[in-house]
Structures are given as C-alpha cells and as structure tokens.
Chain A
Amino acid sequence: MKFRKFNAIVPPAVMLCWLMSVTPAYAMHISEGILPFNWALLWFIIAFPFMAVGLRRVKQMASVDLSAKPLMGLMAAVVFIISCMPIPVPTAGTCSHPCGTGIAAILVGPFASVVIAGVALLIQALFLAHGGLSTWGANVVSMGVVGSFAGYFAFRGLRLLRVNLVVAAFAAGILADWATYLATSVELASGIRGDSPFLPLFWKILVAFIPTQLPLGILEGAITAGMVGLLYRKRPDLLVKMKVIKEGVKTNG
C-alpha cells in the first residue's frame, strides 16, 4: 500500500524533474565546425548504414506490434530530454548530460535506438544550438551507435550470465554512457590532431572527460535500472514482447 502511494507520486515527479532540469545551454555533443570536413563526412558515412537498418527495424516493429509505438515514443522523449539535460557535477565543477541510449537499446533494440538518437540529435542541432549539423554524423556514431551497442551487448551479456535484470540494466546504462564519451574522445582526437600524434591527444581528452562522466555514468546506470525495473513491474508482458526477458523467467535468471 505504502509503495503503491509512492509509485503514484514518483513517476510524475520524475517527469517534473526532467521538465525543470531542461535549461540552456551546456551543449556536450561535438559543436558545429569543430571537425574538419573530411572527418565529419567519414562519420556521416559510418552512421548511414546504422540509420538505414534502424529505420527499417522501426518500420517493422510498428507494423508487427501496436504497443511498440508508445514505447518508441517514450524512448524518443527520454533520449531527447536526457541528452540535453545539463547536470552539474560538483566534484568536477562542470556540467554534462547522460545519453539515454542504453535504456533505449535495451527496450527497443540497438538499431532503433540509433534512429532515436539521430532524431534527437538533429532536433537539438537545428533548434537548440546543441551539437551541430556538420558534426551530426559524429554525434550519431558516438551517442547512437557506440552508446546503444555498448549498452545492448552489456545487458545481453550479463543476462546470459544470469545477472539480475535491474543490475544488468544498471551496468548497461553505465557502459553506454562511458562508451559514448570514449567514442567522442576518438572522434575529437582524430579530427583535431592535425600533425600531432593521435594517442597522447586521445588520452588527454579522455582523462579530461573522466571527472564529469564517471559520476554521470553511474547516474545513467541508476536511470536505466529504475526504468527497466519499473517496466518489469508495470508491463512484464511488454518486456517479453520486446525480448528483454523470456516468458516465465525470473528477473535473476
């Protein structure tokens, strides 16, 4: 009873917090003009097949199962809001944001998650001065492709090892976030290095991300675990349908 009351308050409170937290403007994606043309083009080319397969997958999902549409809508809103939500990290004195692609990859699959991230990044680049159109491909690769697949494989791998559903989701959220910034470091170091060697610059950038992204990754893990756990209680059938869990299988197995 006590927990029912709690449940009636918490989800709207989470939504309210999201609304309150979306304030300008600490963009964390790679900004417009940072990457040279050839590198920006390369990331577009890499992102393209993932987007194409993702769009096909989204179309398939929507035609097969009606409940996929609200789930896709929910994930799109979650990724969009989370990835432009600046969160101050007192230990680092900076702001950054989680990505949300880990949870999207778990619930709707990694390819659909790439599409969701791509759309969110496009809206942010167009209207929120957040990221950039020329760097859209690079941001899709780091947040959409690398983040989604890192989260998805971490979740699937841990579930194969019979790790608890919520714990697996927590780890997937963390890895999706950290992998995104690892990929951003690669993109940035390779794009801006000029004649300098790649590795020292890569490590320099990666280390600079750590104080901010280390705690935020853990926060993203908590968000992912909370959302998967909540859906397991509210709509376990949906998780079965989306192949997150098997029918009749307990969360720890």
Chain B
Amino acid sequence: MAKYGGKICNIVIFLFVLLIFTFSLQPSAFSQDSWPGVDESVVEKYAKEHGREASKPLINTDQGDLLLFVFLAAGAMGGFIAGYSWRMLTERKSGK
C-alpha cells in the first residue's frame, strides 16, 4: 500500500512541476493586460462599480523594477527557508 501510495505521490508531484513550469513560463509570451490578476478582474472591478477604489499601499514597492526585486528577494528567502526546513525534517530521520 505504501509503495502504491508512493507512486501516486510521485505522479502528483510530477504533474505539479509540469503545471508550474508550463504556466509560469507563459506570461512572458503575452502582454500583462492579457493576464490580469483576479484582484483587477474581480475584486477591484466590482469595488469600483460600487464606489470603492484601491488606495496605494503604505510602503509602495510597486515602482518600476523595485517590486520585481522585492518579489525575487522574498522568493529566494522563502525558497531557502523551505529547503532548509525540509532538509532538517528529512535528515533527522535518516541520521538516526
């Protein structure tokens, strides 16, 4: 059963990797306007219809490439913490 579950798990993870790669590479091929976030297409759209508009954030990093840098830094830090924690969790067992 565990072996069977492992195979299912591998397939699920492989599909996930494939999905992320496929979808994450697509936006570069399209203009940003073609792929708005649901904040624009749903949240802000209906809010605007009812007289509410989004205001600028307190710390506005949405200026040129600054936001790209902040996202990259946040992604790198998050990825490092995730990888480090995962290693700590899985190596503790095999080290015994």
A residues with CB within 8 A of B = 3, 6-7, 10-36, 67, 70-71, 73-74, 76-78, 80-81, 84, 86-90, 93-96, 123, 125-129, 132-133, 164-166, 184, 188, 191-194, 196, 201, 204-205, 208-209, 212-213, 219, 222-223, 225-226, 229-235, 237-238, 250-252
Given the known interface contacts A88-B26, A95-B38, A192-B50, the answer about A125 and B57 at a Cβ–Cβ threshold of 8 Å is yes
CB contacts (< 8 Å) of A19 on chain B: these are: 75-76, 79
Determine the residue in chain B with the shortest Cβ distance to A192.
B50
Contact A229–B82 (Cβ < 8 Å): no
Given the known interface contacts A74-B86, A93-B34, A233-B2, the answer about A25 and B16 at a Cβ–Cβ threshold of 8 Å is no
CB of B44, distance to nearest CB on chain A (Å): 7
- Partner of A94 from the list B1, B35, B56, B90 (CB cut-off 8 Å) is B35
- Partner of B84 from the list A73, A95, A132, A219 (CB cut-off 8 Å) is A73
Apart from A25-B67, A73-B88, A128-B67, what are 19 other A-B pairs with CB-CB below 8 Å?
A17-B17, A18-B82, A19-B79, A21-B75, A32-B56, A73-B81, A84-B71, A93-B34, A93-B35, A94-B37, A94-B41, A95-B37, A132-B57, A188-B43, A191-B52, A192-B52, A205-B42, A219-B16, A223-B16
A selection of 24 A-B contacts at a CB cut-off of 8 Å is: A3-B6, A17-B24, A24-B67, A24-B68, A28-B43, A31-B55, A33-B52, A33-B55, A35-B52, A70-B86, A73-B81, A77-B81, A93-B34, A127-B59, A127-B61, A127-B70, A133-B58, A188-B47, A192-B50, A208-B45, A212-B42, A229-B9, A234-B89, A238-B93
- Partner of B82 from the list A10, A33, A77, A188 (CB cut-off 8 Å) is A77
Q: How far is the CA of A222 from the CA of B46 in the complex (A)?
A: 31
Given the known interface contacts A219-B19, A233-B6, the answer about A14 and B13 at a Cβ–Cβ threshold of 8 Å is yes
- The SS class assigned to the B binding surface is helix
- The SS class assigned to the A binding surface is helix
Q: Mark B9-28, 1 if CB is under 8 A from A, else 0.
A: 11011111101110110110
CB contacts (< 8 Å) of A81 on chain B: these are: 75, 78-79, 82
Q: How far is the CA of A7 from the CA of B7 in the complex (A)?
A: 11
B residues with CB within 8 A of A = 1-2, 5-10, 12-17, 19-21, 23-24, 26-27, 34-47, 50-62, 67-68, 70-72, 74-76, 78-79, 81-86, 88-90, 92-93
CB contacts (< 8 Å) of B39 on chain A: these are: 26-31
Given the known interface contacts A23-B27, A209-B38, A219-B19, the answer about A34 and B54 at a Cβ–Cβ threshold of 8 Å is yes
CB contacts (< 8 Å) of A12 on chain B: these are: 83
CB contacts (< 8 Å) of A32 on chain B: these are: 54-58
- Partner of A229 from the list B12, B71, B81 (CB cut-off 8 Å) is B12
- Partner of B5 from the list A93, A132, A232 (CB cut-off 8 Å) is A232
CB contacts (< 8 Å) of B59 on chain A: these are: 126-127, 129
CB contacts (< 8 Å) of A223 on chain B: these are: 16
Interface centre among B19, B35, B61 (most CB of A within 10 A): B35
Determine the residue in chain A with the shortest Cβ distance to B20.
A17
CB of B55, distance to nearest CB on chain A (Å): 3
Contact A233–B5 (Cβ < 8 Å): yes
CB of B96, distance to nearest CB on chain A (Å): 10
